[in-house]
Amino acid sequence: MGLKIDMPEPNGGRLVDRVVKKPEIGAKMAAGCPAFDIKPTMFKGSPIRNVYREIVSICYGFFSPVEGSMVREEVERVLKERRLLNDCIFPYPLVFDITEEDLKGLGVEEGDRLLLRLKGQPFAVIDIEEIYKIDTDDLATRTFGTPENNPEVVREPFNEKHPGYVIYKSLNPYVIGGKFFIVNPPKFREPFDRFWFPPAEARKEFKNKGWRTVIAHQTRNVPHVGHEFLMKNAAYMGDTEPCHGIVVNAIIGAKRLGDYPDEAIIEAHAATNEGKYIKPERHMVTFTLWDMRYGNPIESLLHGIIRQNMGVSWHMFGRDHAAVGEFYDEYATQILWGEGIPSFGFEAPPTDVYAGLKIRPQNMQEFWYCPVCGEIAYKGNCGHIDEKQKFSGSFIRGMVREGVFPPKVIMRPEVYKAVVKWWKKFNYPFVNSAYLEYKNKEGEFDLPAMEVSEKR
């Protein structure tokens, strides 16, 4: 009989819920406030991040216990120790940044409430606690580390080839710190509406399914067969009984050029369920809004927090987790969750420190195709290492780009069909500048019309 694990408590002990459900109350909260239209973070003419996604994930509890844009003292502690002022672990500074010109035009002060509009509609409010200036170069460098300060895992200095570094370096110079409330809840469009399970709803769904142990798969990609085998096998490893549920949690938001569109990612993962390649009764596709930072061990902390808040008990971590390029050691995430990274504030794994995370890691090695065995093999279980054929995302994308149907041993036909569906929609199979502009304009949801009076 394996060890039985109950659903972990949220990070910090409670789920944040800062979403106003009643329209009349939301309109009253927004009445008489100065208003600001949310703008994207830009780099070389392309939108690379939009803060509304962070606002949604904060207010619906994905980032619990964070409740808003961080004040200066909290940003500093996150950078030094990867902890919030209340001691809870959190890896990234989350800030509502603004230009000096826009700040002067608003004329707001600490203690004021600011209405945030999205696509012309009232969306959220921020109760201003502090307004301060940031050094974006310093913020970007300290967020991800340097080879000198973080020698355990950082291999190269970060530069403009790293999307997350570029996001922080491209922020506006002023920050409005304070707590958010969503006053006009979003209505997700197809295909996202079918996969929207914020933490409170995810926990209910797990209970409805009778799942007491759940393992999470992080993804920013459409699944190839190697991913599928990773999910199937990770759920049967570790010191517990086989996990009752496998949850795919896709990161939805602006991504680097060459990644797959969000719509293709989420429907391709659903295709593995619909094709019954993973038993549908123990497989569930969900998503989180976040403009990915590609931060390897730092990003893995956020992923652990998101999925713990959703009620997930285990998280699988593989080679080059949430990484791009060779900035980090390819096993940096596994080093963090296996032994800790002292220079990032972790003398021990995140589960074994004060106020540590409750979700447990399942560190995984690689799957490859073995032509001698004629099957998918797991590292260490097959002796034909010289004949191994790795699953290469770049190779698969090259085939897709040329319109070549990947062999079934690489990609399931239902997955390829989902890729082609959105290829036809966007006229290109991967993220490009046109897609980023589309995402910036349309987003993932619509907002109901809401009238807000100018005076209280």
Q: What is the mean pLDDT of residues 204-232?
A: 88
In a domain, residue 3? The reply is: no
Four-residue CA torsion sign, 200, 322, 420, 426: positive
**Residue 330 is part of which domain span?**
192-440
- Percentage of the chain modeled with pLDDT above 70: 90
Q: Is the pLDDT of residue 3 over 50?
A: no
The 8 Å CB, 24+ separation contacts for 81-84 are: 81/345, 82/298, 82/301, 82/344, 82/345, 82/346, 83/345, 83/355
Pair (165, 303) in one structural domain: no
Pair (204, 130) in one structural domain: no
Strand ranges (DSSP E) for 134-213?
174-182, 187-188
Is the model more confident about 412 or about 130? 130
Q: What is the mean pLDDT of residues 308-312?
A: 97
Residue 67 confidence class, pLDDT cut points 50, 70, 90: very high
Which CATH number fits the domain that encloses residue 254? 3.40.50.620
User: 3-state DSSP call for residue 263?
Assistant: helix
Question: Picking from 68-77, 403-412, 415-424, which range would have the lowest pLDDT averaged per residue?
Answer: 403-412
Pair (274, 178) in one structural domain: no
Pair (142, 253) in one structural domain: no
Q: Is the pLDDT of residue 2 over 50?
A: no
With beta carbons less than 8 A apart as the criterion, state whether 411 and 227 touch: no
Q: Is the pLDDT of residue 162 over 90?
A: yes
Question: Picking from 90-104, 173-187, 336-350, 357-371, which range would have the lowest pLDDT averaged per residue?
Answer: 357-371
Q: What is the mean pLDDT of residues 405-420?
A: 85
Last residue of a domain, one of 170, 187, 204: 187
In a domain, residue 425? The reply is: yes
Residue 276 burial (10 A CB sphere; 0-12, 13-18, 19+) = exposed
Pair (175, 227) in one structural domain: no
Question: Picking from 200-204, 386-390, 432-436, 451-455, which range would have the lowest pLDDT averaged per residue?
Answer: 386-390
Q: What is the mean pLDDT of residues 238-242?
A: 57
In a domain, residue 219? The reply is: yes
Residue 1 confidence class, pLDDT cut points 50, 70, 90: very low
Four-residue CA torsion sign, 75, 76, 82, 85: negative
Give the pLDDT of residue 406: 77
Beta partners for 180?
A: 126
Pair (344, 366) in one structural domain: yes
In a domain, residue 5? The reply is: no
Q: Is the pLDDT of residue 27 over 90?
A: yes
Pair (278, 308) in one structural domain: yes
Give the pLDDT of residue 455: 52
Q: Is the pLDDT of residue 287 over 60?
A: yes
Q: Is the pLDDT of residue 71 over 90?
A: yes
Beta partners for 370?
A: 375
Pair (300, 344) in one structural domain: yes
pTM of this structure: 0.93
Q: For 343-400, write each residue's pLDDT tens digit.
A: 999 999 999 999 999 999 988 777 666 666 666 666 656 665 665 666 666 667 777 7
111: left (phi over 0), alpha (psi -120 to 50) or beta: left
With beta carbons less than 8 A apart as the criterion, state whether 315 and 304 touch: yes
Last residue of a domain, one of 187, 208, 235: 187
Pair (227, 349) in one structural domain: yes
Count of the separate structural domains present in the chain: 2
Pair (258, 290) in one structural domain: yes
Pair (207, 156) in one structural domain: no
Which CATH number fits the domain that encloses residue 181? 3.10.400.10
In a domain, residue 8? The reply is: no
Pair (263, 165) in one structural domain: no
Is the model more confident about 368 or about 444? 444
Average pLDDT, the chain: 91
Give the pLDDT of residue 408: 77
User: 3-state DSSP call for residue 338?
Assistant: helix
Last residue of a domain, one of 187, 208, 237: 187
User: 3-state DSSP call for residue 366?
Assistant: coil
Give the pLDDT of residue 386: 65
In a domain, residue 17? The reply is: no
In a domain, residue 13? The reply is: no
Give the pLDDT of residue 118: 97
Give the pLDDT of residue 414: 93
Question: Picking from 64-68, 132-136, 217-221, 247-251, which range would have the lowest pLDDT averaged per residue?
Answer: 217-221
In a domain, residue 16? The reply is: no
